[in-house]
Structure 1
Amino acid sequence: MVYVPCSLLAAGDDSLTVDLRPTLDGRLALLVYSALDRLVSCCGDKQPWAVMPTVNLEKIRTETNFELLLLDVEIPVEFRRRDGEQ
């Protein structure tokens, strides 16, 4: 199981939108976290998230074409979500 940062869902929306992050070299990365406390510590307490089995990551890769999977990466404070932000 991993914890995956996601976008806020609109009322009535049941689809999941994972947060993808561009890297400095232009690749697209999916950040995942090994525990909820690590996600909160690395992304902030305003970050929406979902928990999923690691086997689902391949489906996300085929749907989003992310190029890197990064584990337990800290997001700099200036790039974290704040109240109500997407």
Structure 2
Amino acid sequence: MTNPTLPPVLYVPTSRPGPGGEEAHVELRRTGDGRTVLMAYSALDRLVSCCGEGQAWVLIGTEHLPKIHERLPYDVIFLDTDIPEDLRHPV
């Protein structure tokens, strides 16, 4: 499951860790047609620009995408895509 058009590392949006130290989790989104999307960003400044300053994230190597897909199946990856303001996490 390697894709030569993806950079070697990606910034992936996550939930924020919980107050009791609970682990953060990769966030998946849904498209209007019902597909499950893994959002990914090629640079940290793009993640902040597209998701807002309140977005938590994790840096992953693209070689780990199959592991993420096993645990959290998704249909498609959207790269460097804006999230509408009303769906962003607050700062």
Aligned to 2:55: 47
Identity %: 44
| Alignment deviations for residues 11-55 of structure 1 (CA, whole Å, 9 cap, x no partner) | 333x44101000010010000000000000000000000001011
Aligned to 1:66: 74
Which residue of the other structure, out of 4, 24, 43, is the alignment partner of 2:32? 24
Distance in 2 separating the partners of 1:40 and 1:32: 12
Distance in 1 separating the partners of 2:68 and 2:24: 10
Alignment root-mean-square deviation, CA: 1.0
Q: What letter is aligned with 1:69?
A: I
Query: Any stretches of 5+ residues in structure 1 without a counterpart?
Result: none
SS at match of 2:89: coil
Matched, 1:4 2:12: yes
TM-score with structure 1 length normalisation? 0.89
Tell me how many residue pairs correspond in the alignment.
82
SS at match of 1:29: strand
